[in-house]
């Protein structure tokens, strides 16, 4: 099955955009106090290494 690099990049871009949305217009102090926003960002960040590993694996195979 061919690898869809665009899908991986789209997922990464989407993750970055979600983090930007969760943190827009709030100060760092407000972010620290907002556990929902912090938890949402943590979930998104935790998905990024998996995407990175997948992209690195693809690179080694080609």
Could you give the number of structural domains in the chain? 1
Q: Domain range holding 48? A: 5-61
* Inter-residue contact 38 to 32 (CB < 8 Å): yes
- CB-CB neighbours of 22 under 10 Å: 18
- Could you identify the residue written with the tokens 């195979």? 61
For the stretch 19-49, pLDDT in tens is 999 999 999 999 989 999 999 988 888 887 6
- The pLDDT-based confidence of 54 (bands split at 50, 70, 90) is low
List CB contacts of 44: < 8 A, sequence separation 6 or more. Answer: 15, 18, 19, 22
* Assigned token pair, 38: 């912090």
SS3 3: coil
- The pTM of the full predicted model, rounded to 2 decimals, is 0.66
């Amino acid at each position: 099955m061919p690898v869809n690099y665009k899908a991986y990049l789209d997922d990464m871009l989407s993750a970055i955009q979600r983090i930007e949305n969760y943190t827009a217009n709030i100060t760092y102090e407000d972010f620290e106090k907002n556990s929902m926003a912090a938890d949402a960002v943590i979930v998104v960040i935790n998905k990024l290494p998996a995407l990175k590993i997948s992209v690195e694996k693809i690179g080694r195979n080609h």
